Structure 1
Amino acid sequence: MPLLPDLLEALATGRIEVVDLTAPLTESTPILRLPEPFANTTPFRLEQLSRYDDAGPGWYWNDIHTGEHTGTHLDAPVHWITGKDGPDVSQVPLGTLVAPAAVLDVSQRVAADPDFLLEVSDVRAWQAEHGALPDGGWLLLRTGWDERAADAERFHNADDTGSHTPGVSTECARWLAERTPLAGLGVETVGTDAGAAAGFDPPFPCHHYFLGAGKCGLTQLRNLARLPATGALLVVAPLPIVGGSGSPARVLALVQR
């Protein structure tokens, strides 16, 4: 029996809701800040070419200036040295870009401790309640951090001791990347790793292990509170930049209501 007409009918009647998980791109979109001597990415900027004027009387358009890893974006395996021989963003399998999602909610624990780290025991407890992680799917870590996204200082949450944002422990990152059937990890923070992850061994373990295993990352997601723990279908649409290490992406979730 044909399935696409059923899907279209479900979308039209609201039985399937499309939830936008993407942060809008503006000049104030928070970006990752690396200390010297490391290079930093370019903030998002529009450069107007014409707007119904002498440069273009009937049309409006812009050049865009931004980095690959600005706003809601996809990390491809080649982004990290452990994945340097892996696919670039144009080569990420389509089955990774349209895939089931599991949502693990730790927002209450993060509210009490912004340096919260997800452990293997937390994932096992989630599995005991909800079942196995989706084969070829995504684990989306809901921390409530998207509530801070409109304020870059609160979003980065940095002080003299460094950045204080939640993430995944080294042991859990390795276990998720190497011992589960996931295709990727999605977070609400500026990067897939915790704010303190530069001091972990290895540094930035989510990047190290996930990208090294040929898997992907998604960052700066929003509206994970609107998703069920299981059953959502994730649709990730990055620009297919040949040779690109990542790309800003529109990320949608299809949820049966």
Structure 2
Amino acid sequence: MATTNAFPLLLVLVLLGLHCGCLGQSEEPRLIDLTWTMEEGMNMYPTHAEYRFTIVYRGNQTGGYYLESNEIAMNEHTGTHIDAPAHFVPGAWKLDQIPLGHLTGPGVMIDVRDKIGDNTDYAVTKQDLQDWEREYGRIPEGGIIMSWGEQFFEEGPVPYLGSDQKNASLLHSPGLHPDAAQWLVDNRDVKVIGFDTISADTGDSTTYPTHKILLPNNIIIIENVGHLNEMPPTGSTVYAMPIKIGDGSGAPTRVFAIIDDRTSAAGLTTPDFILILASAIMLIVQAM
């Protein structure tokens, strides 16, 4: 009887040792930077002022110390950036009024590269979202959706914007169909939707219906997201941390994802470990 009672306890101790790294080495969570570097000459919405970076100090100073300091000038909606609800909705959240908890959540990466093909104004559909759910499960509550169309911000204006002219009527880029936006508003609890494109609306849009559906419902938009090829469809937590501009309608934002796919030396993920540990504890209780 003593041997029988001791076995579950021994199992618990072994599992704890494996998971804590006593018998092996655990990996650290992976961080994925989803933000493009801001620099002069980067792609901009055609009606926005160019980003300017001016060196003020860079070198040894008369006081015997080295100093670097720079000045920047830009539109709020520059580089990887957030659109606050106030961008399209009078009286809605300004940038500094967005609750911090609204800017983090479980990540969802929807790959629409095959759908785009030669259609540079492809609009992600409700069917695309439902197809993703059929494969990966329901979009989680408080989710942050990222739409990956393999649109590369650093490749220059013609591949990314469809034109190198400062004329918004010549824009061509993928976006989210208004029907899909409305379906998300009506059926899912989503905090943020990000795009690896210049806009949430397709480039050929002149009325911005997707903006006008998402933002009044406090669904934050992130545009010019980068490196979505490194983000898995599920299993990440996304953080979008904008510069806190008072009275702002948007701001450059550091967006990143954390993927905690650590496993124990026994090859157990954290949820698996918790389940097995709970089962072992139940065995101990039953054996007493």
Scaled by the length of structure 1, the TM-score of the pair is 0.84
Contact 2:197/2:225 (<8 A) preserved? yes
| Pairing partner for 2:185 from 161, 168, 177 | 177
Contact 1:49/1:55 (<8 A) preserved? no
C-alpha separation in 2, matches of 1:152 and 1:42: 15
Unpaired runs of at least 5, structure 1: 1-5, 7-11, 34-39
Structure having the larger proportion of residues in strand: 1
Larger Cα Rg: Structure 1 or Structure 2?
Answer: 2
Deviations 1:151-186 (A, max 9, x none): 122210139973221111121122223432101210
Contact 2:61/2:67 (<8 A) preserved? no
Q: Which moved more, 1:157-166 or 1:229-238?
A: 157-166
Q: Does residue 245 of structure 2 align to residue 241 of structure 1? A: yes
1:152 counterpart residue number? 157
C-alpha separation in 1, matches of 2:235 and 2:179: 27
**How many residue pairs get matched?**
234
CA shift in 2, pair 1:113/1:84, >3 Å = same
CA drift at 1:79: 0.6
C-alpha separation in 2, matches of 1:108 and 1:117: 13
C-alpha separation in 2, matches of 1:219 and 1:14: 31
1:217 counterpart residue number? 221
CA shift in 2, pair 1:243/1:178, >3 Å = farther
Three-state SS of the structure 1 residue aligned to 2:117 is: helix
2:44 counterpart residue number? 31
Structure having the larger proportion of residues in helix: 2
Q: Does residue 144 of structure 2 align to residue 138 of structure 1? A: yes
- Superposed CA RMSD: 2.2
CA drift at 1:29: 1.4
Q: Which moved more, 1:107-116 or 1:229-238?
A: 107-116
Contact 1:177/1:210 (<8 A) preserved? yes
CA drift at 1:197: 1.7
Report the residue type matching 2:244 in the other structure.
P
C-alpha separation in 2, matches of 1:162 and 1:209: 24
Q: Which moved more, 1:100-109 or 1:168-177?
A: 168-177
Fraction of identical pairs, as percent = 26
Contact 2:86/2:94 (<8 A) preserved? yes
Scaled by the length of structure 2, the TM-score of the pair is 0.75
CA shift in 2, pair 1:71/1:13, >3 Å = farther
CA shift in 2, pair 1:173/1:13, >3 Å = same
Show the 5 A alignment for 1:42-121. 42-53=49-60, 58-80=66-88, 83-121=89-127
Deviations 1:92-139 (A, max 9, x none): 111122211111101122234222111111111111111111211211
Report the residue type matching 1:28 in the other structure.
G
Contact 1:110/1:144 (<8 A) preserved? no
C-alpha separation in 2, matches of 1:13 and 1:43: 46
Runs of 4 or more off by more than 6 Å in structure 1? none
Three-state SS of the structure 1 residue aligned to 2:214 is: helix
C-alpha separation in 1, matches of 2:27 and 2:224: 26
Unpaired runs of at least 5, structure 2: 1-18, 20-24, 262-288
